[in-house]
Structure 1
Amino acid sequence: MDDLQQIFKKHSYAAKASTAFIYAILVSVAMNFFWTPGKIYASGITGLAQLVSTLLSRYAPFQISTALLLFLLNTPMFVLAWNKIGHRFTVFTFLAVVFSSIMIKAITPVTLTTDPIICAIFGGAVNGFGTGLALRNGISTGGLDIIGLTIKKKTGKSIGTINIIFNAFIVLAAGFIYGWPYAFYSALGLFVNARVMDMVYTRQQKMQVMIVTSRPKSVIDSIQNHMRRGITIVNDVEGAYHHDDKTLLITVISRYEQNELHDAMEESDPVAFVSISENVQIWGRFYEQAL
């Protein structure tokens, strides 16, 4: 058993490292093929690195590349993550940022188009896919993610407002430097990035599940074997068609767990009636797997 656990752990580590490398390739493609030719700024620390690099090239006697600035600006975040979130999490975040810095520098920029709308849409889509893939595999891409996770771990609250303010600053900077139309193009890129990331990273999307079954114990056991979820039981439920005695089970899962729920229902009660409501708001405790 210990040998199997070691093999699984090594496989998991290899998968995370591979995902970090794939993310690095995607963000470098977004940067070198779309954002830089289109004069589009990314979100978060990546956008800040672009902004500082642009300002240095214009007003300072020296220049620092976006790739190097991306690493330098993330360095304090590594220290915060190591102390407040976890060592394994920090190692893979470090890998993602280092790989990104290397690949942004290594991949030769190619100007496919300078149309800012095309560059905003495709750059945002490519980066959003990479970021969502990384988050889905338990890897942070650094920057504001680390601040958000630290605050959420300590207070249970998200920092959506801080993210909005920070990215608004990036958009305004694009307007001042390249002209106000580019502020709107950068905002479009941020929107596309967020939408694609949400499509790929589904752990944060909550779904309420209502199950009407005549085999409640079997269903409960199967669900809890597949995933760690609490279930509310409502007894003495009656079906209106045949007037059979039923039990109503209510739980909340993430969209990421939808396939596991389907497998659990196939095992325990394939004929149960299952209703799923998306985008529910949760108050109270909801288990999330540790990073």
Structure 2
Amino acid sequence: MDKLRRIKFKNMIMLTIAGVINAIGITIFLSPVKLYDSGISGTSMLLAQITPDYLTLSMFLLILNIPLFIYGLKKQGALFTFYAIYTVAIYSVCSWLITDILPVDVTFASPLAGTDLLLCALFGGVISGIGSGLAIRFGGAMDGIEVLSVIFAKKIGISVGSFVMIYNILLYITCGFVVNSWILPLYSIVTYFAALKTIDYIVEGIDRAKAAMIVTTMPDEICKALSEEFETGITTFNAKGWYSQNDKTMIYFIVNRFQIGKMKEIIHGIDAKAYISIYEVADVLSGDRE
């Protein structure tokens, strides 16, 4: 109960928005043309198609997701479980409103993209990915498959990502056999990857920074030049070359993609033998300059 007292109003608002967005992506773009989302959401869509009409998508979303979140309560914590159940509830209610209450015809085609499977797959994936990404970013989840993967992936000796991937591959294969066609499951894979990439952008940021690791014997000169040029903090570590056994310094430095060329020019202008390694980072949270 103490953890539930930490519920934030901002998170609740953003999770509400996430549920609404996800419902729009699924019901407006995917369900009308019988494309499938990933995870439990995709499973719910398949079950809704092959069962009687009174067993709706929104009903399956609640039936399948909520028990998984409750089952994962011990591992994920009460706050996450509350946020996740709330998000799925909003997603489910909004899906019901769009399909059964609002004057929107989503019976045979997307109201916005018609029967164009590629447009439906791409826009459905991107929009549902925005919803799922917002849910993750603000402490919840849109799909119980993540909980399932955390619980069982380690037990069967695979990573969480591999578990989710295997689940979705099996889901799409099942869809192919059930509908006796592979066109829709193949387009659903396009949806899956569009959503996956969108989730990464939402959770980690669109404009990702670059981290540079610089190994040099001239750290003072390089740090001074970089600091004067980019006006940002720099971190240094003592290092030693294994082959040469010479003392070196490792410099850790964050730049954006437009500053990489200038950074290389400055470093190699001072130390032509400096070793530079560059990789992508996300969510750079900076404090005071060092």
TM-score (norm: length of structure 1)? 0.68
Bigger shift: residues 95-104 or 138-147? 138-147
Number of the residue aligned with 1:129:
130
Number of the residue aligned with 2:119:
118
Structure-2 separation of matches of 1:182 and 1:156: 31
Residue pairs, 1:1-291, within 5 angstroms: 13-57=8-52, 63-107=54-98, 108=102, 109-110=104-105, 111-112=111-112, 113-150=114-151, 158-176=159-177, 177=179, 179-202=181-204, 209-210=212-213, 214=220, 232-234=237-239, 236-237=248-249, 254-257=281-284, 260-261=285-286, 264=288, 267-268=289-290
Alpha-carbon distance, 1:198 to partner = 1.6
Question: What 5-or-longer segments of structure 2 have no aligned partner?
Answer: 106-110, 228-232, 240-246, 251-266
Q: Give the residue type in structure 2 aligned to 1:66.
A: L
Asked which structure has the greater CA Rg, the reply is 2
Alpha-carbon distance, 1:154 to partner = 8.9
Q: Is the 8 A contact 1:39 1:116 kept in 2?
A: no
Structure-1 separation of matches of 2:97 and 2:51: 21
TM-score (norm: length of structure 2)? 0.68
Q: Is the 8 A contact 2:238 2:249 kept in 1?
A: no
Q: Is the 8 A contact 2:136 2:203 kept in 1?
A: yes
Secondary structure in 2 matching 1:201: helix
Alpha-carbon distance, 1:106 to partner = 1.4
Structure-1 separation of matches of 2:13 and 2:57: 23
Structure-1 separation of matches of 2:16 and 2:188: 25
Q: Percent identity?
A: 24
Structure-2 separation of matches of 1:252 and 1:146: 30
Q: Is the 8 A contact 1:28 1:100 kept in 2?
A: yes
Change (3 A) 1:164 1:48: same
**CA deviation string 1:225-248 (max 9, x = no partner):** xxxxxx8533644977557xx9x9
Question: What 5-or-longer segments of structure 1 have no aligned partner?
Answer: 1-8, 225-230, 269-291
Alpha-carbon distance, 1:180 to partner = 1.7
Alpha-carbon distance, 1:64 to partner = 0.8
Secondary structure in 2 matching 1:54: helix
Structure-1 separation of matches of 2:143 and 2:67: 10
**CA deviation string 1:136-195 (max 9, x = no partner):** 222222311112334579999632222122111222233231622112111111121112
Secondary structure in 1 matching 2:283: helix
Secondary structure in 2 matching 1:90: helix
Bigger shift: residues 66-75 or 108-117? 108-117
